[in-house]
Chain A
Amino acid sequence: MKKLLSGNEAIFKGAIRAGARYFAGYPITPSSEILQQASLYSEENPEFRFLQAEDEIAAAIATISASLAGVKSFTATSGPGFTLMQEALGWGHAVEAPCVFINSMRVGPSTGMPTQPAQSDLFQVKGGSAGDYYPIAFYPNSVEESFRLTITAFNAAEESLSPVILLADAFLSHLNEMADLDGIEAEVVPRTKEPLGKGHRLFTGTAHDRMGNVKTNDPEAYRDWLNDLKERHLTTADKYPLYEYIPRKDSETLLIAFGITSRIISSLKERFSIFRPIRIYPVLERELKEITEHYRHIIVIEGNDGQYASWVEWAIGRKVMRVPCLGGGFKLQWIQSQIEERLKEGK
């Protein structure tokens, strides 16, 4: 049966469907509803455990530790909280803990505009923590897709043994839509990590070899370990080459947009081709290359000052045009006028 749901509700329900048994979080707009639902759900279902932590640092560490202890776990936050979680994210990659981090983006930097949507955490998601790591991140654009992609994120986490990031924005989190979540069938990957209390393993953020032995002066052991990690992440990501492509034969212009921006400009499909990456990281390099070949103009429309545009340029090796929707201003008319301007400049 169809029900009216918000993006945050759908994300929480998706996590439960994926088998999540632990949530730790700290209140922050616009992701607090997930925290609230987790607290209520834990009262009614004792097997689901919940922690309202003292800060996002603790929330993220608790999420990863619960995963090591043996259950699927997740946390939710927004940009400033995600910044505090970077330490734990790096640790999560080092100890190879499968879990899900939800980042509902708002305007930054710092406190920014707490209630206004943005898409400006892309760089932070890719490499906000110290060292080399290879995060996987998905970004839905509707309530129903939020549900599906939450499950996908949990599956990818189990397969890649890492914290997978589900992106959303203030707009999507609070978007209410009709969706029939019970009718959705989704494959759920079971736990892949042996819980604590079984062996003699050491889960450490210090450099270690494949067996978990601390190796702080051994480049070769480090290289082997990192290559293993990279390969596993890229193989997992290859299973989920998610994107949406709406071609229009007579158009010479391709619009690239994702998340809520792709919903706002969806009516422009009458005039332009539209490409929507769903898997944000690793960047859809091959797909972008193949699709952008057919177009003279490429315009990236996003809620930040050209973060994804930089990735597109890196992937396809040529300049693209940018329409940055800053400070929570996502008006279709304004975007249209900007596109016209860019096209005039481009000719």
Chain B
Amino acid sequence: MIDRSYKELLKLGRFPHTWCPGCGIGAVLKNVAMAMKELGWNNQNTSVVSGIGCSGRMAGYMNLDAVHTPHGRALTAAEAIKTVRPDLNVVVLSGDGDLASIGGNHLLHTSRRNPDITVFCNDNEIYGLTGGQAGPTTPKGTKTITSPRGEHYQPLRLNRILTTQAPYFYARTTVYHLNHFKACIREALLYKGFSFVDIISDCIELNGRRLGFKTAHQMFKWFDERFHMVEGVRDHLKDDELGIAKREVEAEVKAEVEEVPMEKVEVKHEDLKTFTREELKHFDGAEGKPIYIGYKGKAYDISASPLFQGEKKMRCHIAGKDLTKDIEIAPHGEELLFKFPVVGRLKEK
């Protein structure tokens, strides 16, 4: 006996629904409702958010408090709802055009902020509701009514975008691989954090027929040819893989360049060239000469100092002078000087 109690979560009074026969959205709605029912999610602890489009109509059929946002804004709305009501489970049901194109900026930033929401993206690679225009995920070369000679550009690869910054949860499945589909929905709903399920779905009427498919089933077979399942949890998914990519630990940010300690060549004091204070004054950086300063009996070449570049003095420090006293009262210590090469010793007065 099939458990039909999930129907409590649907507004059956509104049926028949608005979607065409053969459309994949019905499968998304039903399986999400079944998973929610299994987990005990209901109208007291759950809220559903949708954007605009065929898939945006899903929220309206869920029998709980649902929010139907303007085009592309479902993620922001869901995040705000979760922020002020952490007691609610928040689920986003929307499509690829809504989430990845007009809502692309929100996808980047909401996933970065990692709120505990679950997103189901009905990815049918087309703008169905408006008549079959090319979408952000339409494969290159596909003929649509806005790409009559074939789509010119590469599609947006959500698997790559959403798995660059940990923590992340990205699953790709299709409406055809039913068990895999159900497992992904459940995993995503249980995941604590921003989880995104990319559900490859069909739009037979406004995409499939133009591509030469006669039935929805032929499109499902086509999904089976294009994608293959991978076992276990991966770090990343390739463009033709179905599975779950997950990483829960925030990636450590390493400094790009490691500081290599400079080798110091010790030069004996006696071997150094001797400068008188008068001689030192010549090295003030003018006319391409190096900048020397004196400190505790030694002369340093500080030409490389960024603070002295092109200037004869840096605030009160004047090039070509003995700065022993200056450095004693300076806010920084003498260690600043030691990274510069010693070029000689100062002759005592």
Q: Report which A residues bind B (CB closer than 8 A).
A: 21-22, 24, 49, 51, 53-55, 57-58, 61-66, 68-71, 73, 87-88, 90-91, 95, 195-206, 213-214
Contacts and interface: CB of A to CB of B under 8 A. Distances in A.
Given A62-B80, A66-B80, A196 B70 contact: no
A89 to B, nearest CB: 10
A51 B84 CA distance: 11
B43 A197 contact: yes
Given A54-B108, A55-B105, A62-B77, A200 B65 contact: yes
A19 to B, nearest CB: 13
B73 interface: yes
B67 A65 contact: yes
A200 B60 contact: no
Contacts of B59: 202, 204
B85 interface: yes
A70 B85 contact: yes
B114 interface: no
Contacts of A90: 70
Given A54-B106, A91-B70, A200 B80 contact: no
Interface in B51-87: 57, 59-60, 63-70, 73, 76-81, 83-85, 87
Closest 9 CB pairs of A and B: A204-B68, A62-B80, A65-B77, A65-B80, A54-B109, A69-B81, A61-B73, A58-B76, A196-B65
A21 B83 CA distance: 11
A80 B308 CA distance: 43
B201 interface: no
Given A61-B69, A196-B47, A22 B85 contact: no
B44 interface: yes
Given A61-B76, A65-B77, A213-B14, A197 B69 contact: no
B163 interface: no
Given A58-B109, A62-B80, A195 B70 contact: no
Contacts of B64: 197, 199-200
27 contacts: A54-B105, A54-B106, A54-B108, A58-B73, A58-B105, A58-B106, A61-B73, A61-B76, A61-B80, A62-B76, A62-B79, A63-B80, A65-B76, A66-B80, A69-B80, A88-B73, A195-B85, A197-B45, A198-B65, A200-B43, A200-B64, A201-B66, A203-B66, A204-B59, A204-B68, A205-B69, A214-B60
Q: Which of B78, B81, B105 has the most CB of A within 10 A?
A: B81
Contacts of A201: 65-66
Interface of B: 11, 14, 43-47, 49, 57, 59-60, 63-70, 73, 76-81, 83-85, 87-88, 105-106, 108-109
Given A55-B105, A64-B77, A198-B65, 6 more contacts: A21-B84, A58-B109, A62-B80, A65-B49, A65-B81, A204-B68
What does DSSP make chain A's interface, helix, strand, loop or mixed? mixed
A199 B70 contact: no
A205 to B, nearest CB: 6
Contacts, number: 118
Contacts of B44: 197-198
Contacts of B77: 61-62, 64-65
A203 B70 contact: no
Contacts of A198: 43-44, 65
A204 B69 CA distance: 6
With most chain A CB atoms within 10 A of its CB, the pick from B66, B70, B87, B109 is B70
A139 B59 CA distance: 38
Contact of A197 (B11, B47, B76, B109): B47
A205 B70 CA distance: 7
A205 B78 CA distance: 16
B116 to A, nearest CB: 14
Nearest to A22: B84
Nearest to A59: B76
Nearest to A49: B83
A71 B88 CA distance: 14
A240 to B, nearest CB: 27
Contact of A196 (B57, B73, B81): B81
Given A62-B80, A65-B80, A213-B14, A197 B88 contact: yes
A146 B31 CA distance: 51
A199 B84 contact: no
A95 B69 CA distance: 9
Contacts of A71: 84
Contacts of A95: 67
B73 A206 contact: no
A174 to B, nearest CB: 29
A70 B84 contact: yes
A195 B79 CA distance: 16
Contact of B83 (A58, A66, A204, A214): A66
B76 A53 contact: yes
Contacts of A68: 67, 81
Contacts of B63: 200
A21 B287 CA distance: 64
Contacts of B83: 22, 49, 51, 66
> Which one of A24, A68, A195 has the greatest number of beta carbons of chain B within 10 Å?
A68
A91 B73 CA distance: 11
A205 B108 CA distance: 24
A197 B87 contact: yes
Contacts of B43: 197-200
Contacts of A206: 68
Contacts of B79: 51, 62
B17 to A, nearest CB: 11
B289 to A, nearest CB: 46
Contacts of B78: 65
Nearest to A201: B65
Contacts of B73: 57-58, 61, 87-88
